Amino acid sequence: MFSLVAIHKSYGPVRAVGPVDLEIAKARTTVLLGPSGCGKSTLLRLMTGLTSPDSGEVRFEGVRVQPDRWPSLRRHLGYVIQEGGLFPHLTAWSNVTLMARHLGWSGPDVDRRVEELGQLTRLDRPTLLRYPAELSGGQRQRVSLMRALMLDPAVLLLDEPLGALDPMTRFDLQTDLAQIFRSLGKTVVLVTHDLSEAGFLGDLIVLMKEGRVVQTGTLEQFVHHPAEPFVRKFINAQRSPLEAVAPVA
Ligand code: ADP
Ligand code: MG
């Protein structure tokens, strides 16, 4: 779906990404995983055209995306930014339907789509009439997801969509997201720094370090065939809660 070819991106003296070559498979969930600052968000933004590479190419369905093509291509991308990015002065419903109304959708078409997505994300109508500040963190992320799906995009790009949630809310949303991804069969690229989330949601995991891809594969491959010592170190850094419990004598 997307190919990143020999991509470099620096901010002044800081190399955010590069060199990176990466294929994003159609109808699969690819997870970009790695510690904070390793370039995950930059890589995702390169796939939205909101950031342009210093060198290298972004290809969509095999064709290099020229700068003037991004605005029309972006209609086919659903993007959830790291903080959700809902407009605080608009209700959830207005946030979700903003683009569709701008594009001239009819009232019944808008209502039908909201109804469909409300069922998918488990948000009812009264909840959608609230403002973002009146919603829980989990509800806000469900609204962000609805907004990203409203125009039925070909690709869904999610930047740490569950990053700010408490563990139980996060667990519930992970379960729902897995179900949603399965039922929609869309191309999904999801950013996280959480190993178990990556393993749970990803068909393919791309582990990054300092702007580069260290290993691409499944959690199992990372555990049994780590490409370099960093992979093992990253896995071992995720502490199991059971470690804190004294073993039974
Ligand atoms: P991640 O999402 O993995 O935490 P980012 O892609 O946000 O990492 O950032 C990668 C590196 O690029 C970091 O060192 C970050 O400080 C830097 N960076 C990202 N965006 C900018 C920017 N707009 N201006 C300057 N530096 C940036
Ligand atoms: Mg980030």
Say which ligand is closest to the CA of 206.
1
- DSSP states of 4-47 as a string? EEEEEEEETTEEEEEEEEEEE-TTSEEEEE-STTSSHHHHHHHT
39 close to ligand 1 (CB < 6 Angstrom)? yes
Task: Tell me the backbone φ, ψ of residue 36, rounded to 5 degrees.
Answer: -55, 135
- Contact 36 CB / ligand 1 (< 6 Å): yes
What stretches of the chain adopt beta strand conformation (E)? 2-11, 14-24, 29-33, 55-60, 63-64, 77-80, 155-159, 187-192, 204-209, 212-217
Rounded Cα–Cα distance for residues 188 and 26 (Å): 8
Q: How far is the CA of 177 from the centre of ligand 2 (A)?
A: 19
Measured from the CB, is residue 186 less than 6 Å from ligand 1? no
Count other C-beta atoms under 10 Å from residue 224's C-beta. Answer: 9
**Alpha carbon separation from 160 to 74, 79, 198, 247 (Å, rounded):** 20, 11, 11, 34
Instruction: State in Å: Cα 182 to ligand 2 middle.
Output: 25
CA distance 163 to 194: 9
- Residue range 219-235: average pLDDT? 94
Specify the ligand 1 atom closest to the Cα of 38.
Answer: 3
Task: Please give the pLDDT value at position 54.
Answer: 96
**Mean local confidence (pLDDT), 14-24:** 94
Supply the pLDDT for residue 155.
95
pLDDT for the residue 243: 75
pLDDT of 58: 94
Predicted pLDDT of residue 158: 95
For residue 11 and ligand 1, the question of a CB distance below 6 A is answered with yes
Q: What is the arrangement of strands in the sheet containing 63-64, beginning at the earlier edge strand? A: 14-24, 2-11, 55-60, 63-64
Nearest residue (by CA) to ligand 1, atom 2, is 41
Tens digit of each residue's pLDDT (9 = 90 or more) over 147-196: 999 999 999 999 999 988 888 989 999 999 999 999 998 999 999 999 99
| Residues above pLDDT 90, as percent of the chain | 84
State the ligand closest to the CA atom of 43: 1
Taking only the tens place, the pLDDT of each residue in 205-217 is 999 999 999 999 9
Over residues 92-102, the pLDDT tens digits come to 999 999 999 99
pLDDT of 50 higher than 80:
yes
- Tell me, what's the pLDDT at 5? 96
Q: Kindly state the average pLDDT of the residues 48-74.
A: 92
Verify whether ligand 1 is closer than 6 Å to residue 14 (CB atom): yes
Q: In angstroms, rounded to a whole number, what is the distance separating the alpha carbons of residues 159 and 31?
A: 10
Give CA 206 to chain center in angstroms.
13
Distance, CA of 76 to CA of 96 (rounded, Å): 16
Between the CA of 9 and the centroid of ligand 1 the distance, in Å, is 10
* Contact (Cβ atoms closer than 8 angstroms) between residue 207 and residue 214: yes
* Pocket-testing residue among 4, 8, 9, 11, ligand 1, by greatest number of atoms within 8 A of Cβ: 11
Q: What's the pLDDT score for residue 36?
A: 93
pLDDT at 116 over 80: yes
Q: What is the mean pLDDT of the chain?
A: 93
Distance 2 CA to ligand 2 centre (A): 19
- Given a cut of 90, is residue 238 above it in pLDDT? no
Closest ligand to Cα 46? 1
In terms of Cα–Cα distance, which of 67, 73, 121 is closest to 93?
A: 121
pTM: 0.93
pLDDT computed for residue 195 by the predictor: 92
Contact 195 CB / ligand 1 (< 6 Å): no
Ligand of minimum distance to the alpha carbon of 207: 1
